[in-house]
Amino acid sequence: MSRPSAGIGWLSPSRAWRLIECPASVLPVAGTVSGGKGKPEVNTGILAHRALERWIRSEGFRAADPKTALAEATDACAAELAGQPPAGWRVSRARLVARGMSLVDLIGGRAPDQVHSEIELKDEDLRLRGRPDLLLTGDEIVVVDLKTQTLREEELPAWVEFQLTVYAHLIRTVHGQLPTRAEVFSLNRGRREVVITDESLEATLVALASARTLDPSRANPSPEVCRFCDRRLVCEPHWSAAAKWPDADAVTGTVERTEHAATGVVALLLTTANGRAWVSGIPGALASVGSGDTVRVARVSPVLAADESRSEWRWRNFSAMTLAN
Ligand code: SF4
């Protein structure tokens, strides 16, 4: 396989999938437009990954009570946050602690130097790199990828299988063989095997090589990919498409009115393409906008009215907002 152009740079398994789905999604974001405080938000997924890594690195799986050790790892990671844990953490924490015990059996009696978490694997030629959540080496190589998103279907989504296949390629590059077993560790579905063959691996690498040749400015909006994209606040194709998505988590409109609550949060009444809509619960420090400003708000929860229209959106702690140009 030919060496890729350096323009797009290194790809992780998740960026590689996004490149295939929407080439523009891997371009750097110009400027800071997030409604956050300049630091990446620690969402539930990041926190769960930190907790699992802490448990593995501290060999909590060998403790007399591994479940308590995992619960302690989750609480220690949550305690390191500057503020409250993210929304949804209570449920994710409970799932992680309950389902994490299945990893104790998987790890078994491996030696300490055969149990790795977040160890970097690289393919210099293809400019691919990744850090699997759990990599077990020895006679058998096992890779496990933690997924904190709720997987709704029984069948694993294509993006989950793709990412594990990229990890399998990296393992073959570094360790000289495909993993004996590749698994997704889903917080809501538990451990699920992904069968990786030479053929499926080759197909993945061909798709990736082809995606590297696409025009990197080409945007291909879809709810699944845009939801995790850092560029969405500045991406015009996203905003054109999102207005028509039935399950959109983003809204844009012109500020008609601003209301300040005694708690310090702000609500904005927007005129949108689909009518008037409130966005409520915005932290006061982030809502320095006035009437006539056009704003974009992403990662907000719709409040469905009885007729299923979306005339209200609620701010979440990982929501973001910017002024439209
Ligand atoms: S927001 Fe959507 S369409 Fe725009 S670059 Fe990201 S994934 Fe592509």
User: Cβ(296) to ligand 1 under 6 A?
Assistant: no
Tens-digit pLDDT profile for residues 98-117 = 999 999 999 999 999 999 99
Please state the atom number of ligand 1 nearest to the C-alpha of residue 229: 6
Confidence at residue 269, expressed as pLDDT on a 0 to 100 scale: 94
Distance set, CA 282 to CA 13, 47, 317, 318, 319 (Å): 33, 23, 9, 11, 9
Confidence at residue 25, expressed as pLDDT on a 0 to 100 scale: 93
Please state the atom number of ligand 1 nearest to the C-alpha of residue 221: 3
Distance set, CA 285 to CA 232, 312, 313 (Å): 22, 21, 18
Q: Name which residue sits closest to atom 1 of ligand 1, judged by CA.
A: 232
Please state the atom number of ligand 1 nearest to the C-alpha of residue 27: 5
- Record the pTM: 0.84
Domains of the chain, CATH where assigned: 13-212 (3.90.320), 243-323 (2.40.50.140)
Confidence at residue 40, expressed as pLDDT on a 0 to 100 scale: 56
Please state the atom number of ligand 1 nearest to the C-alpha of residue 232: 1
Q: How far is the CA of 222 from the centre of ligand 1 (A)?
A: 8
Residue with tokens 């709704």: 152
Any residues with CB less than 8 A from the CB of 300 and at least 6 apart, and which?
249, 250, 251, 279, 313, 314, 315, 316, 319
Query: Could you say which residues of the chain have pLDDT below 50?
Result: 6, 32-38
User: Cβ(216) to ligand 1 under 6 A?
Assistant: no
Q: How far is the CA of 96 from the centre of ligand 1 (A)?
A: 30
Confidence at residue 37, expressed as pLDDT on a 0 to 100 scale: 39
Confidence at residue 308, expressed as pLDDT on a 0 to 100 scale: 61
The strand ranges marked E within the chain are 115-116, 121-123, 128-130, 134-136, 142-147, 181-186, 190-193, 250-260, 265-272, 275-283, 294-298, 301-304, 310-314, 320-323
Q: Name which residue sits closest to atom 7 of ligand 1, judged by CA.
A: 226
User: CA-CA-CA-CA torsion for 31, 33, 36, 38, nearest 10 degrees?
Assistant: 10
Confidence at residue 51, expressed as pLDDT on a 0 to 100 scale: 98
